[in-house]
Amino acid sequence: MAERRPKIIGFCCERHGMDSAVLAARTGKQFDASVRLVQVPCAGRVDGIHILQALEDGADAVFVLGCLEKNCYYDTGSIEARKRVEYVRQMLAEMGIEKERVEMFNAASTNAWAFPEIVAKMVEVAKKLGPIEEGERR
Amino acid sequence: MKAKIQVVLCKCCTEIPSVLRLESLSKLASESNNVMSVMTVDAICDGKQLAPVMNDVKQKELDRAVVLACHKKDVSPTLLRAYRRAGVNEFMVELVNIREEVVLPHANEPERAQAKAEAKLRAALARSLMLQPLERQTEEMKTRNVVIIGAGVAGQAAAKEAAKAGAHTVVLEKSGKTLKVPGVVMQHSTLVGAEGYGGNLKLKIRAGEKVESLDAAALVIATGGGWTQLKGSLAKAVKDAVPLYKLNEQVQVDAPIKGPVVVVDSPDPSGKTMAVQDFAWDETLETVVELKKKHPETEIWVVFQEMRAFGLSELVYKEAADAGIKFIRYDKGGVPKADPKNPGVLSVRDFSQGEQLNIRFGTLAFASIPANPDNRLIAEVLRIPMAADGGIRRGSIQRWPVSTPRPGVFVCGSALFPKSREAAEAEGEAAGAMASAFVKRGTIEFGGVVAEVEQEKCSACLTCVRTCPYEAPFIGAAGKAEIRIQACQGCGMCVGICPSKAIELRNYTDDQIMIETRTLLGGDF
Ligand code: SF4
Ligand code: SF4
């Protein structure tokens, strides 16, 4: 059988987050197909339960991508999102799941290399850690 | 009623079929539940191709659509309007960005791209079935007033520009100075209260002894900087010191500059009344290097407590030092001072050498300038954020550079941070133009994707009230949270944070988000 491909979910705000992904694509960057983007209006819409449910549903890693904190379209959305991601990471650690599986990123819409780097980083994490062991999953 | 979905596959001319097999996407779509029609078009962004798509919608009385094309922002406005005219609510149209999310970045792996596109289609179909039709509402603006706070360079420019564009301007000026600006000028007046939202703001203004109410459609903050209210020992001792932006301006226009030139980081080196601003170091370097280039004979001193040579500024620092500009570091024990009786001499203890220096100067400039102390009150009244250095903080650059995070409230000039007259004037014009464009719409549009409180669940904990950046949630007469939808921007920040799970964001509910996630994870690629 071929090498198992990781599954990664990226919750992505429709402002700078999505714009940075689109710009990367339009400037010809190629990145791993494992990332599945779920668009939300603002990174601050993402709730811990979305992240946990994604892991439960088979994601090896999950990231949230929002605007730069000082340039967030909804002002405090990406700051709020970071707090929630941090909270989920702590919960995971307590449950014995590697917290590296969940990460918060910020990107500017004008930055074409940010998104491919994020993808590369998460793919690396997912490949290193592999799927979450059955016993680990709630 | 059973959902009836139309699926549209856009070729983006030839780009999408060059990687994906559209026939199999089309087959997948037509075999899915509730899909009544599948169409393939060459370019949905081409208005001419909309007609057959919309005819199909009308004929089959479809109520929702899934469109696989490119990035939302490029396709949406015209497309959504067309759907609306054909009888499909625009919030029931699910746009899938197949071009930038799949085709372009995975062009080298067509097999995986195909599987990913199929997963995206499935997820969109699942989401489509859960979408609710939403309505945007409009509210008339009760007035066309653009209120401008401050009648300095930026404020006057804003008033002129807004008036030119047909807005009715009201300028609030703190002092009694008479002004030649269009519209009404209220002397001795300050803003003391504000309610409502951009478009329909109710302001309270103290004018002299009285407090008056004033309706405003848009607001421009042009309070200016705090140069006229300069505090600090050094500022008091050297009356003819200039702000750094002034020095920079003189360098740019080749005005005569009396040497030697000294740039001190702050008018208050002991740091009692203000902190050194972030940009002080970089702007100082830039200015002195240029000055040295134009006038190599001028002796230049840069007196800073902290030299932040990192990144590119390190190179400029080196360039400046090589050119003979003298850098003096001081610490709290030997802050720069001047004797008011002998104001042409700056005495400072060089921290690295430990020696006391007396620098004779012709020009003294301060790199940091305090923000206007009025900003704090204005920010509080309007509930907009401030920057760490006391300026008004602008909103995201995607909302334009002279916007605050609140729609309809603009900011320009040194109220943001200290800047030259020219820059302040240009910003004032921009803010005036934006404000008048805002009021010219005459109505405010709101609704659609907004938050909604299920009141039975609400425990009136105020978390949403504190979290929302737009003051949309409030505790209503029933003692439960309500959303002022005119103010709600639909970010959804309040949803996840509500401890009672009482809030929902329309068309971005937990279920909708999680179904999409699950379906995407179901694909194997
Ligand atoms: S956060 Fe939730 S429970 Fe608290 S006031 Fe708002 S709606 Fe009510
Ligand atoms: S969705 Fe955003 S703007 Fe609307 S009430 Fe909630 S936090 Fe405020």
Ligand nearest to the CA of B473: 2
Separation CA B455–CA B166 (nearest Å): 44
Does a structural domain hold residue A74? Answer: yes
Q: How many domains does chain A have?
A: 1
CB-nearest to A40 from B106, B398, B508 is: B508
What number does the ligand 1 atom closest to the CA of B497 have? 1
Same CATH topology for B5-134 and B448-506?
Answer: no
* Nearest residue of chain A to residue B491 (CA atoms): A42
Ligand 1 pocket check for B483: Cβ under 6 Å:
no
* Nearest residue of chain B to residue A80 (CA atoms): B493
Looking at residue A81, its pLDDT comes to 97
Q: What's the gap in Å between the CA of A39 and the closest CA on chain B?
A: 9
A31 to B116: CB separation less than 8 angstroms, yes or no: no
End-to-end CA distance of chain A: 28
B493 to A45: CB separation less than 8 angstroms, yes or no: yes
* Nearest residue of chain A to residue B111 (CA atoms): A33
CB-nearest to B491 from A26, A42, A50 is: A42
Percent of chain B scoring above 90 in pLDDT: 62
A109 to B398: CB separation less than 8 angstroms, yes or no: yes
B493 to A40: CB separation less than 8 angstroms, yes or no: no
In CATH, the number for domain B5-134 is 3.40.50
What number does the ligand 1 atom closest to the CA of B463 have? 1
pLDDT (tens digit, 9 = 90+) per residue, B154-185?
Answer: 999 999 999 999 999 999 998 888 888 888 99
Does a structural domain hold residue A18? Answer: yes
- Asked if B262 contacts B406 with a C-beta cutoff of 8 angstroms, the reply is no
Which CATH architecture does the domain made up of B448-506 adopt?
2-Layer Sandwich (3.30)
Q: List all residues 6 or more positions away from B2 whose beta carbon is below 8 Å from its beta carbon.
A: B34
**Which protein residue has the closest C-alpha to ligand 1 atom 8?**
B458
A44 to B395: CB separation less than 8 angstroms, yes or no: no
Q: List all residues 6 or more positions away from B492 whose beta carbon is below 8 Å from its beta carbon.
A: A40, A41, A42, A44, A45, B451, B505, B508
Chain-wide mean pLDDT for chain B?
Answer: 90
CB-nearest to A41 from B97, B398, B508 is: B508
Looking at residue B309, its pLDDT comes to 61
Kindly state the average pLDDT of the residues B211-233: 88
Does a structural domain hold residue A87? Answer: yes
Task: Give me B72's structure tokens.
Answer: 């939302």
Looking at residue B45, its pLDDT comes to 84
Range of the domain at A83: 8-133
Question: Across-strand partners of B10?
Answer: B41
CA-to-CA dists, residue A45 to A72, A107, B261, B427, angstroms: 13, 17, 53, 33
CATH number assigned to the domain comprising residue A104: 3.40.50.960
Ligand 1 pocket check for B402: Cβ under 6 Å:
no
What residues of B are in contact with residue A102 (Cβ under 8 Å)?
none
Separation CA B201–CA B63 (nearest Å): 38
pLDDT (tens digit, 9 = 90+) per residue, A9-53?
Answer: 999 999 999 999 999 999 999 999 999 999 999 999 999 999 999
- Residues A52-88: b if buried by 16+ CB within 10 A, e if exposed: bbbbbbebbbbbbbbbbeebbbbbbbbbbbbebbeeb
Fold of B145-226+372-444: FAD/NAD(P)-binding domain (3.50.50)
Looking at residue B286, its pLDDT comes to 87
What number does the ligand 2 atom closest to the CA of B505 have? 1
Does a structural domain hold residue A1? Answer: no
The amino acid present at B324, given as its one-letter code, is: G
Neighbours of B386 (CB within 10 A): 15
**What 8-state DSSP symbol labels residue A44?**
G
CB under 6 Å to ligand 2: residues? B 450-451, 467-468, 470, 472-473, 483, 488-494, 505
Looking at residue A136, its pLDDT comes to 55
CB-nearest to A47 from B101, B495, B516 is: B495
ipTM: 0.96
Neighbours of B6 (CB within 10 A): 26
Q: B355 C-alpha to center of ligand 1: Å? A: 62
pLDDT (tens digit, 9 = 90+) per residue, B31-68?
Answer: 999 999 999 999 988 888 899 999 999 999 999 999 99
pLDDT (tens digit, 9 = 90+) per residue, A94-109?
Answer: 999 999 999 999 999 9
Place of tokens 């001792």: B237
In CATH, the number for domain B232-366 is 3.50.50.60
- Asked if B106 contacts B116 with a C-beta cutoff of 8 angstroms, the reply is yes
pLDDT (tens digit, 9 = 90+) per residue, B274-294?
Answer: 777 777 788 888 899 999 999
Task: Give me B79's structure tokens.
Answer: 């497309």
Tell me the three-class secondary structure of B139-191, residue by residue: EECCCCEEEEECCCHHHHHHHHHHHHCCCEEEEECCCCCCCCCCCEEECCEEE
The residues spanned by each domain of chain B are 5-134, 145-226+372-444, 232-366, 448-506
Neighbours of A44 (CB within 10 A): 32
B385 to A75: CB separation less than 8 angstroms, yes or no: yes
In residues, how long is chain B?
525
pLDDT higher than 60, residue B149:
yes
B521 to A26: CB separation less than 8 angstroms, yes or no: no
Residue (of B517, B478, B483) closest to B502 by Cα position: B483
Q: What's the gap in Å between the CA of A62 and the closest CA on chain B?
A: 11
